[in-house]
Amino acid sequence: MEEKNLGNLENQNNNKLDISNNQNQDNGEEDTSNNQNQDNGEEDTSNNQNQDNSEEDTSNNEPKIIQTNPDAKDGQNKCPKCGATDISLNANNGKLRCNFCRYEFEVEKVGTDSDSDLRNLKGEVIGSGAQNIIADVEDVLTFKCSSCGAEVIINTTETTQARCHWCRNTLSINQQIPNGAIPDMVLPFKLKKDDAKVEIETFVEKRKFFAHPKFKEEFSTQNVMGVYLPYMVVDINGHSKLSGQGEHTVRTYTVGSDKNKETLHDADLYNVEREFDVLIDDLTIESSSDKLMGMSSEKTNNIINSIMPFDTENSVKWNANYLKGYSSEKRDINIEQLKSIIISQIKDISRYKANTTLAHYDRGVKWSSEQLDIKGQKWIAAYLPVWLYSYQQVKSSKKSLLHYVAVNARTKEIMGSVPIHMPKLFATSAVVEVFGIIIAIFTAPITDDYSWIVTIAGFVFFAYFYFRYRNTNARHAHEKETKATVENLKRVDIFIRRKTGLKNSNMKGANNKKVSNKNFAIIDWLID
């Protein structure tokens, strides 16, 4: 076996690949030995099954609870200048504004963890607002107004504020209670409602031709509402090790003639390993069971997922005044229920980070083992802002589907699902298909090799517009969009042998660009 010097450590990875040209070739078939011989077969030489070695927290201690707002007290949140309690968000600048004296002020930002902080993150750290939900905790709380002494009842399933019915002062819940209603931090609305309505109108207008007639008749942005949705924001200090095989193309050629022509490939096969520390900052995941389930037969929840990421680094400590004028949905999922999803997403992020070191393997890499060690993790509960339009479509089967058009109220990222008038789309696609077949018939003598392409024009037309309207495969690309840093990289690239006569342009079983649980929903043929 000949070892290729492709770099061993992160501080050496600027060296170019040193690929030796001295490769012994043998026209005989090869088994999976490490000799440098030719292989006329296309089989993958790895006998290992794709393994997910158990991921574990290296700390045996109980989770550490951090009080994210230790000075918070329930009751009146007063204007620092005049003492009034009628305070709300000014979306123009993200500050809180007293509606009596017009004084504006800011709440302390939560801040972000530096790479140094993430390196030192050990064990499991949980924000006080992210603690487990207690099933039988009282949702209805009674407060005594500090101004007049009246008792005020607040139902935390519906709101975190209420006005005193006697003196009209506003009372707020500021301390975390174990029912998921009070998070550690909140990211204020930045995009105003009128601007969100314009974004939604523009999105829908581009999709009106095949939209369901009833939807076009009933669509109105007056139904747009601002809502704070619950999320968990997670920091990770992890260590990843990936092992497998990769292929590099050395020759592409054509054999045969006329209609029997065939393109074949020769490729070098390598054993590949990548091992590194991975620091992940603010990996964000929904903490509402209703929104977490993604695409379903009843709701287009994947639309809400797809408008991430949020600029969570600008979040502020919890203050109920940020919710005034907006709706909110409380968290109903505990951390343990989210860990398996987070682990899958960390592996996706690690896999994609490793891809930056795999440029040599143009045919792909098949990882047979992916090990992940979580050295430290921190969980913070957050409310993040979304402008949401919803439309309930009743199908001919009497079943309903709830369509969403969602706008990220920080970045203006928009995604939506628009009900389709299927008879119109089917009919138009059929016309396109007929024209495609006619074109294929008349052009066959001229472009015989490629005339078949136009025979599927109708199917391509249908699929394009279906996914453009419904966006059933829309999702947050967490593997690319999450902030992550790789450190202490170790690389192993060992040449095994040359494979010849391969029919596929990509390595069989390559999974280095795989994303866990990626949802490409099947077309719902029953929408009408």
Q: What is the pLDDT of residues 454-505, one digit of tens each?
A: 778 889 999 999 999 999 989 999 999 999 999 999 999 999 999 999 999 9
pLDDT in tens, 333-354: 999 999 999 999 999 999 999 9
- 4 within some domain: yes
- 407 within some domain: yes
Does 435 lie in the same domain as 348? no
β-bridge pairing 104-105 and 95-98: antiparallel
Does 295 lie in the same domain as 208? yes
Please state, in angstroms and rounded to a whole number, the distance separating the CA atoms of residues 151 and 149.
Answer: 7
Determine the average pLDDT of the residues in 213-236: 95
Does 447 lie in the same domain as 383? no
For residues 203 and 49, the model is more confident at: 203
pLDDT for the residue numbered 191: 96
Please state, in angstroms and rounded to a whole number, the distance separating the CA atoms of residues 481 and 295.
Answer: 21
Q: Are the C-beta atoms of 216 and 208 separated by less than 8 Å?
A: yes
- 158 within some domain: no
pLDDT for the residue numbered 71: 72
> Number of structural domains, the chain?
2
**Residue 150 burial (C-beta neighbours within 10 Å; 0-12, 13-18, 19+):** middle
> If you search the block for the tokens 């992020």, which residue do you land on?
349
- 162 within some domain: no
Does 466 lie in the same domain as 352? no
pLDDT for the residue numbered 70: 73
Share of the chain above pLDDT 70, in %: 75
Does 485 lie in the same domain as 461? no
Please state, in angstroms and rounded to a whole number, the distance separating the CA atoms of residues 176 and 156.
Answer: 11
Does 444 lie in the same domain as 389? no
CA dihedral sign, ordered 33, 36, 42, 45: positive
Determine the average pLDDT of the residues in 99-116: 86
Main-chain dihedrals φ then ψ at residue 434, nearest 5 degrees: -60, -45
Task: Say which residues have a Cβ less than 8 Å from residue 148's Cβ, sequence separation at least 6.
Answer: 164, 166, 167, 169
- 76 within some domain: no
Does 411 lie in the same domain as 424? no
pLDDT range class, residue 19, cuts 50, 70, 90: very low
- 73 within some domain: no
State the chain's mean pLDDT as an integer. Answer: 83
For residues 57 and 206, the model is more confident at: 206
pLDDT in tens, 30-85: 344 344 444 444 444 444 444 444 444 444 578 999 988 777 676 678 899 999 88
pLDDT in tens, 134-176: 876 666 666 566 666 656 666 666 676 676 666 667 766 666 6
Which tokens hold the place of 285?
């995941």
Does 500 lie in the same domain as 427? no
Q: Are the C-beta atoms of 229 and 310 separated by less than 8 Å?
A: no
Share of the chain above pLDDT 90, in %: 58
Please state, in angstroms and rounded to a whole number, the distance separating the CA atoms of residues 284 and 286.
Answer: 7
For residues 232 and 330, the model is more confident at: 232
Determine the average pLDDT of the residues in 362-368: 98
Checking if the pLDDT of 422 tops 60, the result is: yes
pLDDT for the residue numbered 218: 95
pLDDT for the residue numbered 444: 59
Checking if the pLDDT of 16 tops 80, the result is: no
Residue 432 structural domain = 418-470
- 61 within some domain: yes
Does 465 lie in the same domain as 403? no
Does 455 lie in the same domain as 370? no
Does 438 lie in the same domain as 377? no
When mean pLDDT is compared over 91-95, 176-180, 386-390, the highest value belongs to 386-390
Does 234 lie in the same domain as 327? yes
- 388 within some domain: yes
pLDDT for the residue numbered 136: 65
